[in-house]
Amino acid sequence: MKQKTKYQDKCRLKKGDEVIVTTGRSAGSVGKIDKVDYKSNRIFVSGVNVAKKHSKPGTSSEEGGIIDKVMPIHWSNVALVDPKSKKATRVGYKDEGGKKVRFAKASGEVLA
């Protein structure tokens, strides 16, 4: 079992969630979470915060050139998109039928 970090319980975002970037160069951009890095408290959002990286050709069949690479964003700089209103919302937890579920605080809708 992986060891939890200090902030892992605080991060309420999961892989596959639709988020909106609230601050920075990509503010206002919407995308789905590809990966959550709990060790550095950062997330990778598809199509957001893309940087150009220069790569040399490798010995195997890799080509060199300029590639687009998705860079991580700190999880405090994004917010979950409400399924109903499509605006930023916070995440809460509640019991439904003996199960702990996540819900959007703005609309009260249960998240998958």
- pLDDT by residue (tens digit) across 12-54? 999 999 999 999 999 999 999 999 998 888 999 999 999 999 9
97 in the same domain as 59: no
74 in the same domain as 31: yes
Bridge partners of residue 80, in order along the sequence: 19, 89
Bridge partners of residue 73, in order along the sequence: 43
92 in the same domain as 69: no
75 in the same domain as 23: yes
104 in the same domain as 73: no
90 in the same domain as 72: no
Give the pLDDT confidence score for residue 2 in this predicted structure: 67
92 in the same domain as 74: no
42 in the same domain as 6: yes
Cβ contact 13:38 at 8 Å: no
20 in the same domain as 61: yes
Of 2-6, 37-41, 95-99, where does the model show the most confidence? Answer: 95-99
Give the pLDDT confidence score for residue 64 in this predicted structure: 87
Query: What is the domain-level CATH number for residue 19?
Result: 2.30.30.30
**38 vs 59, 73, 87, CA distance in Å?**
33, 12, 25
Using alpha carbons, select from 28, 112, 21 the residue that is nearest to residue 72: 21
59 in the same domain as 108: no
* Look-up of token digits 């990286």: 53
Indicate whether 97 pLDDT > 60: yes
89 in the same domain as 75: no
Q: Which domain holds residue 90?
A: 83-112
